[in-house]
Structure 1
């Protein structure tokens, strides 16, 4: 049976309630609450679980705040993750929210939903909110599987995820490619080369900017990528045009293909778009353009995947914008 006792301060004022549940075959469970109703509710749950033989010790999850759990997550989990830098940013944002002060066992779906609404009011995009939820959900999974909190429920599973907008399908139209390359050439010939490589190879920005000469084989017309988004090595074939772009570049003493930094390139690229009068074309859209061109050349889904590094075939399919007339030519061997 549960015993509930009031806790008083020096003046005899009740400041909380301590509840103790004792049952044969189980260790005594004691917890303190501010209200008697909360104490009774907790005791009822514990007694019911003991009665049904499904009770598990919640002591750690009931005494660990989300903020403390994130500190442990940052120390033990994030260092081994490829997206660690980005996730550290999300983690710090979670720790500034009211939910961070709550104990893990007390966090419910409605608490996560409230945090989501706050993110929306701050102007965060649906995809950014989704990434925040992925991090929170993984923390609860780790807590259950690796930190001995097996009885912990994952509240993220109980909330509706934000509806993501349709993927971008921006492509180069009209004479935009010529205008863009001309503008890049005016700003820096190296910038024009970077943009040219992006259009020819479908490589990600980070993959392009991280290129080193010891991984470029102009004879075999390949670039080996050791550090990719999905963590797997990939060998990218080079078109004749891409090979010529690289062949014409000077060799830097540090072994890097480019002298630009990531931030410097992004800034210059935006200037080039503005100079060319091109709106709404991100650097990542060039990957979309290049991937779509691979399909237009008649390459199959798995062949394109081997070049671009996409693991999600469903996501890759949205790049396939083959025109009906092109399909007719393919069907008829044209």
Structure 2
């Protein structure tokens, strides 16, 4: 039976039963204390001591606790890319939801958080969705591996920001020759990086992290041990891509390390200046991956083969990156080569 007594202006309720953890709560009125006691005693009747203990612990387990455990136990086993970016997502989630018990995080809490981010942050819809994906994954781990099967994942309960249409920027007219000329004036290595991007459809990080030991000259392949998707990939090298590597090889004294001398940020900065010098507008380095992917499809390479080359997770994502030129469509219909 529950014990209810007044202490000062407040009413205190206690429930003690053999084999169960003690429950205590304070209320403004005796009626509220009585209602709570009836509710908790009903729960005790329905649950085993162990299950009740789990539920109480779950009520005390905050998002901060969950993220600490996630970074300690789960994150070290994930890909290099995840280990690099997810601590930032964890920090952002802590800033707004950290003190909340995991069991109390519901759709309403999360919706308020999304509105707060929309007002205070200049994040893209995809950045918001990546934060939500991490939170959803965290709830899944807690339910399956941390003994909290009663947790309700709030992420499916909220509306996620819509992703914009995929960029369709491609090189047009003489932009490729103008871009390469401007890059060559800056540094011939920069021009070769641009050519390599167009020939291989590799991501910027994959290109800049490439090491000589991962180039297989005999099989004409670049091996990527870790990619954004967390899996290794083999990238076929065209004759033009191999020629780029041969030129860079001649420039490089130490061939036991990275292929390119630029850092990621350094290359991006000089590339943007070269684009401006060439008088080209709205062409990011990532757009070269769109260009390369589209060219693979225009060559008639099967979709699944193109997907294997580019490393897209799905054909749907590959489709977002593929923008076939009108000229190629006309040639396909009219049977022209």
Aligned length: 326
- 1:295-316, Cα deviation, whole Å (9 max, x unpaired): 0111110110121111211111
- 1:218-269, Cα deviation, whole Å (9 max, x unpaired): 3432211112122222211111111111111223414321111111111111
Paired residue for 1:263? Answer: 265
Paired residue for 1:225? Answer: 224
SS at match of 1:278: coil
Q: Evaluate the alpha carbon distance shift between residue 46 and residue 216 of structure 1 in structure 2; reply closer, same or farther with a 3 A threshold.
A: same
1:20 aligns with 2:21: no
1:67 to 55, 64, 80: 64
Q: d(CA) in 2 for partners of 1:126 and 1:31?
A: 44
Paired residue for 1:100? Answer: 98
Taking the TM superposition and a 5 Å limit, the aligned residue runs for 1:130-169 are 130-169=129-168
Q: Is the CA contact 1:21–1:47 (under 8 Å) kept in the aligned structure 2? A: no
Q: d(CA) in 2 for partners of 1:40 and 1:269?
A: 70
1:30 to 16, 19, 23: 23
Q: d(CA) in 1 for partners of 2:311 and 2:322?
A: 15
Q: Is the CA contact 1:58–1:152 (under 8 Å) kept in the aligned structure 2? A: no
The Cα shift of 1:133 comes to 0.9
Q: Is the CA contact 2:290–2:322 (under 8 Å) kept in the aligned structure 1? A: no
Q: Is the CA contact 1:221–1:239 (under 8 Å) kept in the aligned structure 2? A: yes
Q: Is the CA contact 1:19–1:32 (under 8 Å) kept in the aligned structure 2? A: yes
The Cα shift of 1:333 comes to 7.7
Q: Evaluate the alpha carbon distance shift between residue 41 and residue 240 of structure 1 in structure 2; reply closer, same or farther with a 3 A threshold.
A: farther
Q: d(CA) in 2 for partners of 1:34 and 1:252?
A: 76
Q: Is there any run of 5+ residues in structure 1 with no aligned partner, and where?
A: none
SS at match of 2:171: coil
Taking the TM superposition and a 5 Å limit, the aligned residue runs for 1:165-180 are 165-180=164-179
Q: Evaluate the alpha carbon distance shift between residue 321 and residue 255 of structure 1 in structure 2; reply closer, same or farther with a 3 A threshold.
A: same
Q: d(CA) in 2 for partners of 1:180 and 1:41?
A: 74
1:283 aligns with 2:285: yes
TM score, norm. by length of structure 1: 0.87
Q: Is the CA contact 1:21–1:43 (under 8 Å) kept in the aligned structure 2? A: no
- Flag the structure with more relative contact order, 1 or 2, with Cα contacts below 8 A and sequence separation at least 6: 2
For the aligned residues, what is the CA RMSD?
A: 2.7
The Cα shift of 1:217 comes to 2.6
Q: d(CA) in 1 for partners of 2:336 and 2:2?
A: 81
- 1:280-331, Cα deviation, whole Å (9 max, x unpaired): 2221111111000000111110110121111211111233333566356446
Q: d(CA) in 2 for partners of 1:2 and 1:283?
A: 68
Q: Evaluate the alpha carbon distance shift between residue 33 and residue 243 of structure 1 in structure 2; reply closer, same or farther with a 3 A threshold.
A: farther
Q: Which has the higher helix share?
A: 2
Paired residue for 2:75? Answer: 78
Q: d(CA) in 1 for partners of 2:13 and 2:172?
A: 70
SS at match of 1:32: strand
Q: d(CA) in 1 for partners of 2:176 and 2:310?
A: 21
Paired residue for 2:127? Answer: 128
The Cα shift of 1:59 comes to 1.7
Q: Evaluate the alpha carbon distance shift between residue 255 and residue 106 of structure 1 in structure 2; reply closer, same or farther with a 3 A threshold.
A: closer
Paired residue for 1:117? Answer: 115
Q: Is the CA contact 2:168–2:323 (under 8 Å) kept in the aligned structure 1? A: no
SS at match of 1:124: coil
Q: Evaluate the alpha carbon distance shift between residue 167 and residue 328 of structure 1 in structure 2; reply closer, same or farther with a 3 A threshold.
A: closer
Q: Is the CA contact 2:167–2:321 (under 8 Å) kept in the aligned structure 1? A: no
Q: Is the CA contact 1:202–1:291 (under 8 Å) kept in the aligned structure 2? A: yes
TM score, norm. by length of structure 2: 0.86
